[in-house]
Amino acid sequence: MQRYEYKVVPAPRRGEKARGVKTTEERFALALTGLMNRMGAEGWDYVRADALPCDERVGLTGSKTTFQNMLVFRRALEAGTSLTLADVPVAAPLLAAPEVEPPLPPLRLGAAEAPVGPAPSLGPAKPDLAAE
């Protein structure tokens, strides 16, 4: 039975400038061709392109879902080579509970104290700027 290892890379977002390549479509195709040729030179076969959802933080408490375009490649494992789970890099668990610090006790402020009486009269900020 044939066994494969997979690699997922982000698809190019912008085209590459080159002589004779003028339109946006041609520039994007050039960038994609370069990426696929580099991966092919390393022995990777193109499998498919996927648009996958990705939750991103916005501000302090908000989040939004964006879609990331990914390219999937695979290559055959050599006979006798077995890829174990220990060989595969593991990402942080997605469902891990965030570490929460205990809440701080509320800060109690005293009553505001101001002298009783008429408010002081206010003049211009600078005497030179007074209206004439």
Q: What are phi and psi of 40, to 5 degrees?
A: -65, -35
pLDDT over 90 at 111, yes or no: no
User: Rounded to an integer, what distance in angstroms lies between the CA atom of residue 113 and that of residue 115?
Assistant: 7
Report pLDDT for 91.
63
For residue range 42-86, what is the model confidence (pLDDT) as tens digits?
Answer: 999 999 999 999 999 988 889 999 999 999 999 998 876 666 666
For residue range 5-38, what is the model confidence (pLDDT) as tens digits?
Answer: 999 999 999 888 888 889 999 999 999 999 999 9
- Cβ-proximal residues to 18 (8 Å cutoff; 6+ apart), any chain: 27, 30
Tell me, yes or no, if the pTM score tops 0.75: no
Task: Give how far the C-alpha of residue 29 lies from the chain's centroid of Cα atoms, to the nearest Å.
Answer: 24
- Amino acid in the structure at residue 27: R
CB 30 within 8 A of CB 14: no
Q: What percent of the chain has pLDDT over 90?
A: 41
Length of the chain: 132
Q: What are phi and psi of 33, to 5 degrees?
A: -60, -45
